[in-house]
Amino acid sequence: MRIAETAIPGAFAVTPRLLADERGSFHESLRADTLERVLGEPFVTRQISYSVSCRGTLRGIHMVAQPPGQAKYVTCVRGALRDIIVDLRVGSPAFGRYHVCTLDAESGRALYIPDGVGHGFLALADDTRICYAMSTVYAPGTQIDINPLDPELGLPWAYSEPPLMSQKDTEARSLAETLAAGLLPDWRKAEA
């Protein structure tokens, strides 16, 4: 597999080597030893979750407060999605910078998203399924949500019709409100 750092420090795009023949294909989605060599630290999965979305569904921008924090390894196992991650670590040289890519079941491409980086996606096909391998388990009250349509973020969702969004995402705070509330992690603490 090929692992390449994105414009966001500590976030990596992972492209597997597909072995295809007349039956279909096979690939390794996650090799902990290979990923850990790049990260310089272990990535231990504590929870695996899936979401299923119809075309035009927009989910995010989500992250987990520190503590407990949460790194994610995400891949699309059916359909396709436009994935966007945003550096939300206060003091990071890339604060507010985002990375956009397409994840789809055919390519097997994945993203490693470090703690302190927000995540969201737009489903590009019906029955789009995303798998999240996470470094911590769900802890009620630790979720931080930022409105994915916040003009200050200016994320290039590129939807052709208004997206389907949860009430939670529609009513989420802006980046400025989240920053003013002191909810975002500090880059120096996240790197320690």
**In whole angstroms, how far apart are CA 185 and each of 49, 51, 168, 189?**
23, 26, 21, 8
DSSP for 95-138, written as a single string: TT-EEEEEEETTT--EEEE-TTEEEEEEE-STTEEEEEEESS--
User: Is the pLDDT confidence value at 181 over 80?
Assistant: yes
Among residues 62, 73, 98, 112, which one is catalytic?
A: 62
Residue-wise pLDDT for 146-176, tens only, equals: 999 999 999 999 999 999 999 999 999 999 9
Residue whose C-alpha is closest to residue 132's, from 2, 27, 61, 45? 45
Which pTM was predicted? Answer: 0.94
Arithmetic mean of pLDDT, 55-68:
96
Kindly state the DSSP code that residue 65 receives in the 8-state scheme. -
Q: H or E segment at 34?
A: helix 32-39
Which residues lie below 8 Å from residue 47, measured CB to CB, with a gap of 6+? 132, 133, 134, 136, 137, 138
Q: How does residue 190 score in pLDDT terms, banded at 50, 70 and 90?
A: low
Q: Which domain holds residue 24?
A: 2-191
Q: What is the CATH number of the domain that holds 112?
A: 2.60.120.10
Q: Compute the distance between CA of residue 54 and CA of residue 29 in angstroms, rounded to an integer.
A: 23
In the numeric block, which tokens belong to residue 152?
Answer: 């200050």
132 catalytically annotated: yes
Residue-wise pLDDT for 25-36, tens only, equals: 888 899 899 999
User: Is the pLDDT confidence value at 112 over 60?
Assistant: yes
Among residues 27, 119, 132, 159, which one is catalytic?
A: 132
The Cβ of residue 188 has, within 10 Å, a number of other Cβ atoms equal to 11
62 catalytically annotated: yes
How many independent structural domains does the chain possess?
1
User: Is the pLDDT confidence value at 192 over 90?
Assistant: no
The Cβ of residue 139 has, within 10 Å, a number of other Cβ atoms equal to 12
